[in-house]
Chains A and B, each alone.
Chain A
Amino acid sequence: MTYLNESILTVILLAPLAGAALIAILPDRGKLPAWIGLLTTLVTLGLTLHLPAHFVLSQHGFQFETSRLWIENPAIYYHVGVDGLSLWLVVLAGLLAPIGIVASWNAIHQRRKIFYALFLVQQTAMLGVFLSLDLMLYYGFWELSLVPMAILIAMYGRKDGSKAALKFFLFTFIPSAPLLVAILWLYANTGTFNFADLQILIASGGLPAGPLCWVAIAFLFAFAVKVPVFPLHGWLADTFSEAPVALAMVVAGKLGLYSMLRFHVGLFPVQARALAPWLVALAVIGLLYGACLALVQRDFWRLLAFAALSHLSLITLGIYGLTFTGWDGAIYQILNHGVVDGSLFLLLGILEARYGTSQIACYGGLAAKVPQTATLFVITSLAMIGLPMLNGFVGEFLILSSTFTGVNRGWAVAATVGVILGAAYMLWLVQRLFYGPQSPLAADKPASDLRLGELLILWPLVALMLGMGVAPSIWLPTIENRTGPPTLKGSITLPQPSLSLAASGEGQQ
């Protein structure tokens, strides 16, 4: 088992690549690439489950760590490892991949070989981003995750793929250039790409403060675009409405948010603290802005994009509140967002595949025709709008309550308004798709409810939403065992009941 513990991360990284190679070698016949893809991703998922099973809760720091010198000069190491921050994100990446394959099963009709091979490369890149502890290795995976995405958006775009791909390219590749420069600057000044060493060196204050500030901003900028943080979300709606479902469900959020936690706040706690008030403000604005725009969308992919902007902004708020509980909530909410959005993407993808449109107005009254789809959609929507006992509520409550008690009451109250708007746009969407009299489109098509494969993936997701809502204690202890930045170690203390309430500014007799 020790041997497996040492090499498990490498195996996880190589498994999708091996699948991609197999697809590349074998002929593009029928659904063969899809089957290989499904098997590969299921195996990868199984491998990622090894991590929580053998994660030692009592041991602080990185686990399953492997470090080998890769290139001597510059000193780039193949250095991977997992802590409470990345543990469940790796599992989430593993979980979303088979969902993506199922979502593509009937949606991708041509050039399956390229699609599934690139999809698996993208999978390795994502896992690599979560696992890398060497900045250069991390950058390689980060860049690698963008390439298949851009190609696939261009190749399989629904209407105007090239335009969306160009937009995606502009938004994500351009900020990577300053990121690379910043990483190289760090190396030039410290002689290492090692995350843990850099963390200590930066904290010790040996680096010039002025350039370091710009380096931190370069990191933040690349991540903020990828999340996206308002107002850098310009690529999101186009990508959501053009990209194949399998890619759209992984493109936003996770990578950028994880990188913020690990490599922005994690490496540059002082610089992050200085910018935090601005990011809190942008997060709350983005949260409300996304929700308002989601209210008026006519296309359900665009609606989902602005809803995602709103939810990702909430997570950003949790991160830059810089509280321990807020981080718990943020990480938990990344997982929730993956599960809930994965399920929504799958369901909407199924609707689009069967009815041929993403225009909401064409739908109506589907609940009588496809009751299973409607039921699952409603449960997922409820998880999304934070109904207690489903997963969304836990993350939302942790983030909002920690913002309120530990950061700023005004922004917390403003962010809580999102609770109302979220219910409004999601329930309105549910009504327009599933309730009311049947639309001509719905009435004309024969009823075709969910297939077995779709049910097999959706019911476990719903069970996960319920499980994560009722028993977050399964996940939170591992999440809390993370290597936070020095300033965030330990837990914040909630104010004791006292008769002096200076913080609130409210009168007290």
Chain B
Amino acid sequence: MNDSLHLWLIPLFPFAGFLLNGVLGSRLPKWLVTTIALLTPLWSFAIVLSAARGLLGFGATLPSLPFVETCPVGWIDAGALHIGFSFVLDQLSLVMLLVVTGVGLLIHIYSVGYMAHEDGYWRFFSYMNLFMFFMTVLVLAGNALVMFIGWEGVGLASYLLIGFYFQKNSAADAGKKAFIVNRIGDFGFLIGIFLLLANFGTLTFSEIAAKLAAAPAWQGGVLTVIALCLLVGATGKSAQLPLYVWLPDAMEGPTPVSALIHAATMVTAGVYMIARTHAIFDRSPFALGIVAIVGAATALFAATIGLVQNDIKRVLAYSTISQLGYMFLACGVAAYSAAIFHLMTHAFFKALLFLAAGSVIHALGGEQDLRKMGGLRKKIPVTFWTMTAAVFAIAGFFPFAGFFSKDAILYAAFLQGPGGKIFWFAGVVTALLTSFYMFRLWYLTFLGESRSHDVHPHESPWSMLAPLSILALLSIGGGWIGMGRFGTFLAPVVGTSASESGSTQLEILLSIVAVAVALLGWLIADRLYRQRPESAGNLAAAMPAGYKLLINKYFVDEIYGYTVVKPLLAISQYVLEWVVDVAILGGATWLLAGTAQFAGAILQRWQSGNLRSYAAWLTLGAAVVLLFFLLPATLGMHVSGMGR
């Protein structure tokens, strides 16, 4: 019916871009590299837009959803296992695709200016295209294993881009850490896939949902286990407790990478995956409860660390972890459309925050330390105003985008019985902290006096400012779609949440509380960083233990190092290698060798070092063996006699 729609083209274009720039990039002129790198995601975006146009009723033909596309040749067909390449376009994947290709395209454009003077310009764009390829595969996947392709693939792109400055040890370390920590999550995802296979006999999302629908009484039990395994995968990719540790380090990558992969798109894959498999989560209140607890705890935990960070990108990294926590909280209270709504608005304002931070860093010639910034408002006004829009959006001020989506999550949480009130409270406290640390960043960067005199800030080129401006408009207006309309649109895929039971008055009351809290955060930041700039230091000095705990990020990296990494290496080295391999197994071998030497003096000649005799003995030995089995059958009978 919709013959013109070819889903496979959406990932194909970026893949072609990756191949072209990856193989030939070093020999191509820069303008051609840029053209390839920008045109390929542009085409993908155009295909997505045309599909969206039809869906939203602007086009002549309306594809009926879900629109499924399956490759005629299967992928893994072995025994009873049949797994094919299948893509699905439905309301959920459409929203994700719009965000991924749209924001992705803007960030590609921004990168042209940002990366203009870097070595390995072609390499950068080839990896970025590779990321777009895997991310669109992840989003379009019609079964769990195709999703896993994208899932691991975006991890690879992330690894390559975090380690883009591979000559820096810190960058190489961070890339490796990201990959390995993600692999811990993927371990959970894989076990979940095995369980799906064992219990459903299929990995196709629609078939799993159909089988669940056919068994309405099936609750908990193995479904809880599956949901928790998938959650482990999601916490890895989406940097939630306890696997969030890779994301702050991932800031070693170039800033556009942080914006695209580590804020707007890849890290939201866990949220997307839970929404995609919500039929399973819905059957396990326990697993949903865990999702909500993980989300709320992460939101609060990361926000507290964000309060004291001095690196502008690290503040944003912890805020990303915290905002992803909101999305998990939304999933945990089965408000999937609210989660996706926040995912979308967050993509707008967080991409903007990172890109604006990149513009600041660009202006200051690479400086990332907030303590050395200040007074930039007049020097880089476009960056200042666009970032201001993003700060207001993330803090949740009406009528910026973040207000609507965060409000929808807090409202849905509040309605979830007594436990929901606790989640709501955690969310509100997080909102307070968020507002505070974002305005802290805002004051330290743009207001006051410049704290670094030897730099001459300059505004960024238009290729960087144009994406900033578009994202600023989206951060201001992106929420006006409204939760109601957004939820209705997604309802065919993720269902409607329970929030209908509430009242408009309650929702307005909760919104007022949220905005009041955001305002409070701003006022505190204003007092500490504008009115009395010295008081922040005094506050830290007054609470040395707490400050030390926060500035060292609760020592989580150190704890993991001493409880997991070091013991694993020590046990491998001292117990497994030295005791088991060298002493026990090696000892047994040489005992055997000693016996053999004792049995025959021949072996003495072996160690004479005379290679010629050595070779001769070996050949002779083999010849004896060959002769031995060419002897008449009587020998065979004789041996068989022994055998009996």
Contact = CB atoms under 8 A, between A and B. Distances in A.
Interface of A: 71, 73-74, 136, 139-140, 143-144, 146-147, 150-151, 154-155, 162, 165-167, 169-171, 173-174, 176, 180-181, 184-185, 187-189, 208, 211, 215, 231, 233-234, 289, 292-293, 295-296, 323-325, 328-329, 365, 367-368, 382, 387-389, 394, 397-398, 400-402, 404-405, 412-413, 416-417, 419-420, 423-424, 427-428, 431, 434-438, 470-473, 476-477, 480, 491-497, 499, 501, 503-504, 506-509
Contacts of A215: 643
Given A154-B615, A508-B221, A292 B606 contact: no
B572 A292 contact: yes
Contacts of B77: 472-473, 476-477
A431 B194 contact: no
B415 interface: no
Contacts of A494: 80-81, 197-198, 201
Interface stretch (B183-191, B295-303, B422-430): B183-191
Contacts of B572: 292-293, 295-296
B577 A155 contact: no
A215 B643 CA distance: 9
Interface string B58-83: 00000000000000011111111100
A375 to B, nearest CB: 9
B199 A73 contact: no
A147 B622 contact: yes
Contact of B191 (A166, A180, A323, A416): A416
A140 B622 CA distance: 10
B568 A401 contact: no
B618 A151 contact: yes
A292 B571 contact: yes
B593 A509 contact: no
Contacts of B577: 293, 296
A437 B169 contact: yes
B637 interface: yes
B643 A473 contact: no
A280 B632 CA distance: 40
Contacts of B628: 180
Interface string B193-223: 1110111110000000001000101111110
Given A162-B607, A427-B179, A471-B73, A405 B198 contact: yes
Contacts of A496: 201
B524 interface: no
A412 B193 CA distance: 12
A429 to B, nearest CB: 10
B519 interface: no
Given A324-B80, A388-B149, A436-B166, 17 more contacts: A71-B630, A140-B629, A289-B576, A292-B576, A293-B572, A296-B577, A401-B81, A405-B194, A419-B186, A428-B176, A431-B172, A470-B75, A477-B77, A492-B80, A499-B217, A509-B219, A509-B220
Interface in B559-614: 568-569, 571-573, 576-577, 580-581, 585-586, 588-589, 592-593, 596, 603, 606-607, 609, 611, 614
Contact of B190 (A154, A400, A437, A507): A400
A293 B576 contact: yes
B163 A419 contact: no
B623 to A, nearest CB: 9
A326 B279 CA distance: 30
A233 to B, nearest CB: 8
Given A155-B615, A412-B194, A436-B169, A234 B589 contact: yes
Contact of A184 (B573, B614, B629): B629
B290 interface: no
27 contacts: A73-B632, A139-B629, A162-B614, A166-B606, A180-B625, A180-B628, A181-B643, A184-B629, A187-B640, A188-B641, A189-B643, A293-B572, A325-B79, A325-B80, A329-B78, A367-B166, A387-B156, A400-B194, A404-B194, A423-B180, A434-B166, A436-B167, A470-B75, A472-B78, A473-B76, A491-B80, A501-B222
Nearest to A156: B611
Contacts of A480: 78-79
Nearest to B226: A506
B104 interface: no
A169 B618 contact: yes
Contact of A389 (B153, B568, B573, B644): B153
B173 A431 contact: yes
B220 A507 contact: yes
Nearest to A364: B169
Contact of B76 (A165, A208, A397, A404): A397
Instruction: Identify the interface centre among B180, B190, B630: most chain A CB within 10 Å of its CB.
Output: B190
A140 B629 CA distance: 9
Nearest to B26: A371
Contacts of B201: 494-497
B491 interface: no
3 residue pairs, one from A and one from B, having the closest CB atoms: A188-B640, A435-B172, A325-B79
A165 B596 contact: no
A477 B76 CA distance: 11
Contacts of B176: 427-428, 431
B643 A497 contact: no
A324 B77 CA distance: 12
Contact of B80 (A176, A289, A493): A493
Contacts of B531: none
A428 B195 CA distance: 31
Contacts of A402: 79
A363 to B, nearest CB: 13
Nearest to A144: B622
A367 to B, nearest CB: 6
Nearest to B611: A155
Given A165-B614, A398-B76, A494-B197, A509 B221 contact: yes
B644 A293 contact: no
B488 interface: no
A473 B73 contact: yes
B626 interface: yes
Contact of B222 (A389, A424, A437, A504): A504
B43 interface: no
Contacts of A495: 198-199, 201
Given A154-B614, A413-B191, A398 B81 contact: yes
B589 A423 contact: no
A116 B168 CA distance: 44
Contacts of A325: 78-81
B633 interface: yes
A296 B569 contact: yes
A165 B5 CA distance: 63
Contacts of A234: 585-586, 588-589
Contacts of B571: 292
B152 interface: yes
A211 B607 contact: no
A325 B211 CA distance: 24
A162 B586 CA distance: 17
Contacts of A427: 159, 176, 179-180
Interface string B140-175: 000001001100110010010001001111011100
B569 A295 contact: yes
Interface string B521-562: 000000000000000000000000000000000000000000
Contacts of B618: 147, 150-151, 154, 169
Given A154-B614, A389-B153, A419 B194 contact: no
A231 B589 contact: no
B636 interface: yes
B621 interface: yes
Given A71-B630, A188-B639, A417 B187 contact: yes
Given A147-B619, A420-B184, A427-B180, A401 B167 contact: no
B199 to A, nearest CB: 6
B225 interface: yes
A187 B606 CA distance: 34
Contacts of B633: 73-74
Given A428-B176, A506-B222, A188 B198 contact: no
